[in-house]
Each structure stands twice: as structure tokens, then as C-alpha cells.
Amino acid sequence: MKTQNDFGKVAVLMGGKSAEREVSLMSGAGVLKALQSKGVNAHAFDPAERDLSELKRKGFKRCFIALHGRYGEDGTVQGALELLGIPYTGSGVMASSIAIDKVMTKRVWLAEGVPTPKFQLLHRGSYDRHAVIAIPDELGLPVIVKPAREGSSIGVAKVQGYSQMQAAVDAAAALDADVLCEQFIAGDEVTCPVLGTGADARALPVIRIVAPEGNYDYQNKYFTDDTKYLVPCGLPEGEEAAIQDIVLKAYRVLGCRGWGRIDVMIDSVTRKPSLLEINTSPGMTGLSVVPLSARAAGISYEDLCVQLLASASLDHAQEGAGA
């Protein structure tokens, strides 16, 4: 573990321009406080209000990315930091740009034998009513409809009947040009964080999520105490280890590094896991699951932040290391 003097001047990137700005500000505030409590020379930096070129001019030596969604988790800010030569936390340009896109993520996972629910893709402006109504015939009901490149359950709808499909698709299309229609898996909802890179990556304890009426939406993720996060997860013997194994594989095949979190549904009948999506810049709020899982593994919030900052890197540095 590096000391605070090795980090130099650190920027905690928070806020940004995505639909998840509010949550990012909460994550960033927590990270900033934690790093400063450990003696790190850390400062808040909002890319929506300051030009990234300031990072170089102001002498920042590394960045902790606490941005979520577009322009922070999709490879764009990572590419800018690569050009500036400032190491940053989390995945690199390619892994970030793939992981933010739920459809591209599924295509890679399926090619590598990683289980994920069946899906259909609709493109804004190119679908008609008949194409929309045909989706439940292919995937069954209920069906999940969501934007392909949004996080925090923004724009996600659980469609129970044919009459609800059009409104759900139109709402998702208002947020993204690509609309993902996904098979609904009834069963346990769990999530599993990962720390590290390549062969050194390790899965943290699995957390089982019990949301009010099974609705783990934006409100229930960040602004309520009604959602329960169970760790130990209480899954049948052997299931947690199996989920950790498949999550690690899914993380590695995307080329992720630093940290991430993968959401999983476990079929209530077959007990087979299906991976939904990966988050390469997870939330770090008071209700976020990564700090909770880390704490169950004996890592405090403050130590987690320092550990992640110590892992900050650049793509070309990873290539030089043979990663």
C-alpha cells in the first residue's frame, strides 16, 4: 500500500453531466472525506463545471473517478485522462466503453459462455408498434425494458402486459437510441463486487438485495431505508462461490481493472445465475453495496478508497506490464 505522500495531489472527479449526477456527488463527497481522513491531498473536481485540462495545469497527479454513467463511466473521461497522462481509478477506455453498453456487454459475455438473460434490441426511430408488441412473444412476460446505456435503474420498466410495452419502450428511447428488452428472471437478486486486475482480481462477498415489492429502482437504491442488503447473503451452500467464480470470469473477459460490481439474478426454479450488467464505477454512497461488501471482507470504507486510489493506472502502463 502506498502512503499518502506517494499519491501527490489527487482529484476526486464527481458530479459530471450524466443523469446520475446527484448520486455521483454523493459518492464523491464520501470518497473525498475518506481520502482526506487518511491524509491524502485530495480535492473535489466537477467536470461539468471545470475543464479537464485544469487537472494538468493545477498539478494533479492522479484521479479517483466517482463519476457515474455517461461522460464518466463510458470511456470518455478515461480517454481524456490517458491523453493528459494522469492515472485514474477503474477500468480503461475499451473496457469502460463496452461495459457501459448493456447490449455490447451481453454480446461479449455470450461469446465467452457467460450466462445472461435472453434479449431483443430496438433502435430509436426504426421500430413500429408491431415490432414492440412482438417482444413479449419472444421473451415472455413480464419483460424488462431499459435504455442500453444508463445506470442506477434510470428508465427501467418491468412490463406486465402487452398494453404497457409501447409506453415503456418510448420512455427508454427518450433516454437512449438503443432500447434493451430483456427476459425477466424470477428469483433472488444479488450483486457481487470485484477488486483488482487480471489474475489478481478477487470477488468480495455476495450481497442479496431485498427491495420493497421486488422493485430495486432509483428511489429504492439511493433514497430509502426500506431496501435490505443481506451479507452474509444466505444463499444455499456452494451458490455464493459459484456466483463469485462466474462474476470473476465476466469481469476479466471484458478487460476490467481496479474494481467493479456485477448484478446477477438467480432463477428461483433452476437456481442458475444470469448476469445482468456490470458497473465499472460503482456507487460509494452511504447506501452503496460495494462498501458494505468490503466491510464484510474486513476492509473499511476509508481503506477501500485508499486501496482503489493506489490501483490508479493508465492503459499504456497496463500494456507495458503485460496485462
Average pLDDT value over all residues in the chain? 93
What's the pLDDT band for 286 if we cut at 50, 70, 90? confident
Q: Which three cell numbers stand for residue 108?
A: 461479449
Q: Where in the chain is the domain with CATH 3.30.1490.20?
A: 119-183
Does residue 223 have a pLDDT over 70?
no
The model's pLDDT over 21-69, given as tens digits with 9 standing for 90+, comes to 999 999 999 999 999 999 999 999 999 999 999 999 999 999 999 999 9
Residue positions annotated with a catalytic role: 20, 152, 222, 261, 263, 277, 279, 283
Q: Where in the chain is the domain with CATH 3.40.50.20?
A: 4-89
Rounded CA-CA distance 204/122 in Å is 35
Q: Where in the chain is the domain with CATH 3.30.470.20?
A: 98-115+185-310
Give the model's pLDDT for residue 322. 44
Rounded CA-CA distance 189/215 in Å is 10
Does residue 323 have a pLDDT over 50?
no
The model's pLDDT over 144-179, given as tens digits with 9 standing for 90+, comes to 999 999 876 788 999 999 999 999 999 999 999 999
Q: Are 145 and 168 in contact (CB under 8 A)?
A: yes
Q: Decide which of 3.40.50.2300, 3.30.1490.20, 3.40.640.10, 3.10.20.30 is the CATH code for 119-183.
A: 3.30.1490.20
Element (H, E) at 157: strand 157-159
Report in angstroms the alpha-carbon separations of 33 from 249, 283, 284.
33, 15, 12
Architecture per CATH, 4-89: 3-Layer(aba) Sandwich (3.40)
What CATH number labels 98-115+185-310?
3.30.470.20
